[in-house]
Structure 1
Amino acid sequence: MKNPPESAEPHDVNASFRGGGQSVGCLDQINKASLVALAEARILEPGLARRIAAGILALVEEDRGRPPRWSADYLDYEPRLVALAGAEASCLHSGRSRQDISATIARMNLRAVLLDTSAALNEARQAILALAQLHQQTIVPAYTHGVQAQPTTLGHYLLALDAALARTGERMRAAYAHVNQGPLGAAALSTSSFALDRHRLAGLLGFDGLVVNAYDANHLAPVDTALEVAGALAIAAVQVGQFAQDLHAQYADAAPWITLQRGELVGVSSIMPQKRNPAALEQLRVQGSLLLGEMQSVALLSHNVRTGMFDYRAYDPVPGTRAVALLELLRKVAASLVVDRERALAEVHADYSTATELADVLLQRAGVPFRTGHRFASALTDFGRAQGLGLRDIPYREAARIYEAMASQPLPLDAHAFAEAISPEAMVFGRKGAGGPQLAEVERMLAAQRRALADAGSWVQARRDALAQAAARLDAAVATLAS
């Protein structure tokens, strides 16, 4: 949460209603919507509505080109309007409270956060899918428990990352459906005696519907909608951190198979000329951790608090600037990765990550019980490591000897079948299950995820267009009143 500006005293009871430039713009739109709804309901007579409209437009013009006002508090705004339009201009506040104004500004800021973050996420996903397209057949080691486990392809791994980020995009879109509901007209908590059309107020501000219960609108819904947005951003922070750590781990090797291009994303030591530090990966992790901490603060500020309290009243309950910057950095990292295919394959060959396939092939071709094949592959691994050999470097006769000593029968694979069983290429591209790294599945997933990404981009654009159209209609309605 942003702290109040220094000009607000620590004990200032109005501090929860302050806000930055974006919140001031939201207040301008809210005042316009209130004016239109009051005029349409004939709560304001036409002459007064005209004077108030002219005053609102004059204040908007007065603020244009100036540094943004720091206060979006209506009590700071009203004296300026009264000075232009007369004391009766305070009737603009009929049927509403700073409570529902605050709840409305918060929702307008939340939806902006969701749209900006969704757009940044889509751009990062675009870069990740472009890299996956290039590396559908690039065999790389994959790890569990921090230890090389099985080979896969880089394209397969990147599609997994994109699938995770796609779910975060779905969470953001689901949160938007809850966020984009209008609370204006709820007043303090029970509406008012003015016959304001709350549905009309919501529509004028581009909301898709209404937070119906007036008590909920100001005092419960602001909490859970902010938490929903914060939860989606927190998950994104964790996902980006996992990716950063996967990449950073490769730098422990003297010859990493995946690195960042030299340039703005790489640092050079001030004392050690040989160092090429992956600064961008460190920043991905750090900024992700900071974002995760900020999102936890959203829960902490609203935890164990009575309804109607100050704690959760920030105009920007879920700051999104860091999330957008984090996803932009993720896009840059994905676009600048350099992959050494031969080095990646050499790392696979240097370990025993195809041993799983040996046990599978023994079962499939010779009916050897899986556990027997598993014990054989494990014994072969122990032998090879003791001799300083990679799996493919173990002579076939030694493999046959180990199997016969363990199973009391000849190894049921000839030399060719044995070599094929331990081949990374045969293992990776011979997968049969849905979602595996075999080329047909990777191509299918890549096409499906590209279509989903296009839909996600269309969703952002459609929501932005809808908000722009609502704002244009509102401006036209106020201009009509003013004339």
Structure 2
Amino acid sequence: MYKLSTIALASALLALTAPLHAQQQQQPQPPQPQQQQQRHDEFFWLGEINKATAVINTDEGLLEKSMTPLIVKGIRKVLADAEQPGAKRPTLVISFEPLLIQAAGPQITLLHAGRSSQDMLATMRSAILRDDMLALATQLNATTAALVKLAARQRDTIVPNYTNGVAAQPNSYGHYLLGFAAALDRDAQRIREAYVRIDRSSMGTTVLNGTSWPLNRQRMADYLGFGAIVDNAYDASQLSAVDEPVEAGAVVSSIALHAGTFIQDVMTQYAQPRPWILLQEGGENTYVSSAMPQKRNPGLLNSTRRDATTVLTEGMGAALQAHNIPPGMSDPKDVKANKAMVLNAAKVLKNWESILNALVIDPKRALEELNSDWTASQELADVLMRKYKLPFRVGHHFASEVVEYAKANDIRPLDFPYAQAQRIYTQAVLNSEFPQVLPMSEQEFRSTLDPVAIVRNRATVGGPQPAEMDRMLREANERVSRQDTWIKARQQHIRTSLEKLDADFDRLGAAAGVR
């Protein structure tokens, strides 16, 4: 009676999932950055879970050893069949299990003792998201390294920086780039912190309250390359499985925001008739307008900004899908959507790296723009306060009056008449207790307005002065190196764990006489 009902169930499962198989065959798979990622799909991890279950439960007496030949042969056949061109690679437990039944009969479902599709799918999704986050971390580190490398080359290039969309102060372009490298380092920290919470196995928790089978959850986690287990059985499939894509969404959103900010800053230069920074023309970087022959549209900037906006939408979407649903619902768990979200962020970073490699910077034009505007005017107030004890707001008022006079009379900073500066200063402090004569000599007045000297003479920790640039470049390179070591260690841990699982599964088969 049991045998007949099981066979009937198997037939029903096959009939039920046939449309699913056909649909999975037709759906195009999203492009992946690495060949390894292409094969570590849902089917792969369901196979690994079945192999680990067979080894652990046989070793620990939950499966009779007489079942070993059947189980090993059945799993091997399903996995081998899936490697054939056009073969089925089902993504659900309910569509994977019928293939096992076809290969070995209904007795192989004894593997399912103490398991549920809930804990199996939660574990599979965590494993896939874990791989994708490492792929994202790898590209993030490559983009950060490109920023640091360019910062070293542009260490002494002085350019205008902008706040509120307006030229604000002179700065080293290398210092500016290190600012973005620091922002991406925070994103790297977020990946490492999120990874710890993603790198946990839900296997052995079944639906939400465990099982009467004494499963070895830690050994299962070890075989699948996880760093830990999700401790609470209810949390494992009902809560943690929803948290993970939401946290990944927050990480990719931050990355997208940083990419968009950088791109927008470069984009503004394209509105100028004489920009100081552009993309190298041609290739994938720019294209000629179909109507206006003088235009070179920054295609790479446009497409990367668009993709960053898409990633931001996807990242926010993960949180919206998880909002206001009962525990355990599948809304935010879709592997395809979450994979696209993370790997699209990696694509944005890859294109950002291409942008960095394509930048053409004109230091002379940048310095000309600085000297044509009054981005150095704050330094007048700073020097008067630091050296001559004039209150900052008084010095700021003097500097502001100088700028207003200069703009009204179309005078550039290096050409400003010292006599006019003296006159404006006297008016600014008239009838006050402060010195009535500008205490700065003409030479000091002019050197104070020199953007190169301003950057060189900064004294703030973290500023663009040469000594601090050397320190920050060194430390940025060290962070990139440490992150690379962290990524490789996690990837190696997963590989080693899966290799051990393969070896122990082969041992199980060999002990049962299955070759």
2:315 equivalent to 1:288: no
2:64 equivalent to 1:45: yes
2:218 equivalent to 1:199: yes
> Which SS does the other structure have where 1:148 is aligned?
strand
Q: 1:432 aligns with which of 451, 454, 459?
A: 459
Instruction: Name the TM-score, length of structure 1 as normaliser.
Output: 0.94
Inter-partner Cα distance in structure 2 for 1:482 and 1:137: 65
1:450-482, Cα deviation, whole Å (9 max, x unpaired)? 100100011111110000000100011111112
- Runs of 4+ aligned structure 1 residues displaced above 6 Å come to none
Inter-partner Cα distance in structure 2 for 1:385 and 1:67: 71
Task: Name the residue aligned to 1:16.
Answer: none
TM alignment of 1:313-392, pairs within 5 A: 313-316=333-336, 318-319=338-339, 320-392=342-414
Task: Name the residue aligned to 2:484.
Answer: 457
2:438 equivalent to 1:411: yes
Contact conserved, 1:135 with 1:154, CA < 8 A, in 2? Answer: yes
Task: Name the residue aligned to 1:469.
Answer: 496
1:112 CA drift (Å): 1.0
1:162-210, Cα deviation, whole Å (9 max, x unpaired)? 0000100110011000100110011111111111111111111001111
Inter-partner Cα distance in structure 1 for 2:88 and 2:221: 25
2:246 equivalent to 1:224: no
Contact conserved, 2:259 with 2:305, CA < 8 A, in 1? Answer: yes
Contact conserved, 2:93 with 2:121, CA < 8 A, in 1? Answer: no
- Sort the Cα spacing of 1:45 and 1:5 in 2 relative to 1 into closer, same or farther, 3 A: closer
Structural RMSD (CA)? 1.7
- Sort the Cα spacing of 1:421 and 1:21 in 2 relative to 1 into closer, same or farther, 3 A: closer
Inter-partner Cα distance in structure 1 for 2:218 and 2:40: 27
1:277 CA drift (Å): 0.8
Task: Name the residue aligned to 1:265.
Answer: 285
1:90 CA drift (Å): 0.7
Structure 1: which 5+ residue stretches go unaligned? 9-18
Contact conserved, 2:81 with 2:87, CA < 8 A, in 1? Answer: no
Q: 1:99 aligns with which of 106, 118, 121?
A: 118
Instruction: Name the TM-score, length of structure 2 as normaliser.
Output: 0.89
Task: Name the residue aligned to 2:252.
Answer: 233
Contact conserved, 1:106 with 1:317, CA < 8 A, in 2? Answer: no
1:316 CA drift (Å): 4.7
- Sort the Cα spacing of 1:159 and 1:232 in 2 relative to 1 into closer, same or farther, 3 A: same
Task: Name the residue aligned to 2:9.
Answer: none
1:69 CA drift (Å): 3.3
TM alignment of 1:69-148, pairs within 5 A: 69-148=88-167
1:20 CA drift (Å): 9.5
- Sort the Cα spacing of 1:5 and 1:393 in 2 relative to 1 into closer, same or farther, 3 A: farther
1:242-294, Cα deviation, whole Å (9 max, x unpaired)? 00101101111111111111221112111211111111111121100000101
Task: Name the residue aligned to 2:507.
Answer: 480
2:193 equivalent to 1:166: no
2:420 equivalent to 1:398: yes
Task: Name the residue aligned to 1:213.
Answer: 232
1:147 CA drift (Å): 0.6
Inter-partner Cα distance in structure 1 for 2:150 and 2:328: 49
Inter-partner Cα distance in structure 2 for 1:247 and 1:283: 14
2:338 equivalent to 1:311: no
- The one-letter amino acid paired with 1:330 is W
- Sort the Cα spacing of 1:6 and 1:82 in 2 relative to 1 into closer, same or farther, 3 A: closer
Inter-partner Cα distance in structure 2 for 1:56 and 1:242: 50
> Which SS does the other structure have where 1:44 is aligned?
coil
- The one-letter amino acid paired with 1:84 is A
Contact conserved, 2:278 with 2:360, CA < 8 A, in 1? Answer: yes
Task: Name the residue aligned to 2:55.
Answer: 36
Contact conserved, 2:300 with 2:351, CA < 8 A, in 1? Answer: yes
- The one-letter amino acid paired with 1:82 is I
Contact conserved, 2:82 with 2:89, CA < 8 A, in 1? Answer: no
Inter-partner Cα distance in structure 2 for 1:87 and 1:471: 27
> Which SS does the other structure have where 1:298 is aligned?
helix
Inter-partner Cα distance in structure 2 for 1:199 and 1:453: 32
1:314 CA drift (Å): 2.1
- Sort the Cα spacing of 1:289 and 1:149 in 2 relative to 1 into closer, same or farther, 3 A: same
Inter-partner Cα distance in structure 2 for 1:365 and 1:169: 42
Inter-partner Cα distance in structure 2 for 1:406 and 1:73: 77
- Sort the Cα spacing of 1:83 and 1:172 in 2 relative to 1 into closer, same or farther, 3 A: same
1:65 CA drift (Å): 4.1
> Which SS does the other structure have where 1:151 is aligned?
strand
Contact conserved, 2:40 with 2:128, CA < 8 A, in 1? Answer: no
1:407 CA drift (Å): 2.0
Inter-partner Cα distance in structure 2 for 1:206 and 1:253: 53
1:308 CA drift (Å): 2.7
Q: Which has the higher contact order (CA 8 A, sep 6+)?
A: 1
Query: Once structures 1 and 2 are overlaid, which stretch shifts more, 61-70 or 44-53?
Result: 61-70
Contact conserved, 2:225 with 2:498, CA < 8 A, in 1? Answer: yes
> Which SS does the other structure have where 2:278 is aligned?
strand
> Which SS does the other structure have where 1:312 is aligned?
helix
Inter-partner Cα distance in structure 2 for 1:391 and 1:412: 19
Contact conserved, 2:373 with 2:413, CA < 8 A, in 1? Answer: yes
Inter-partner Cα distance in structure 2 for 1:434 and 1:180: 37
1:405 CA drift (Å): 2.5
